[in-house]
Structure 1
Amino acid sequence: MADNMYDEKGLLKPEMDQVRAANKAYWDSQKIDTSKKDSMIYYNWQRR
């Protein structure tokens, strides 16, 4: 991960919240089949 994602307090910068929200919207829009164990693990990994 890039070091510049965090501000001096160690918090995610506001623009990274937009990235996270966009990423979540993307994965939600994919309608991943969560009945498959492997895809669920991958989905959860992507959401970290």
Structure 2
Amino acid sequence: MKDTRHELIHAFLCESGLAENSDWAQNEEVVDWIARQFPKLFETFKN
């Protein structure tokens, strides 16, 4: 699932235009961090 989240993050960044207009949105470490942290972020924002 981690790889799927990683690719979905890329897709959302691309769709929003950030991937084309910012260096951080193309950075694999940043995308991987978001993908790994997403479950914790989701739980935090949900409550």
TM-score (ref. length: structure 2): 0.43
**Greater RCO (Cα-Cα under 8 Å, separation 6 or more):** 2
**Higher Rg:** 1
Which protein has the bigger helix share?
Answer: 2
TM-score (ref. length: structure 1): 0.42
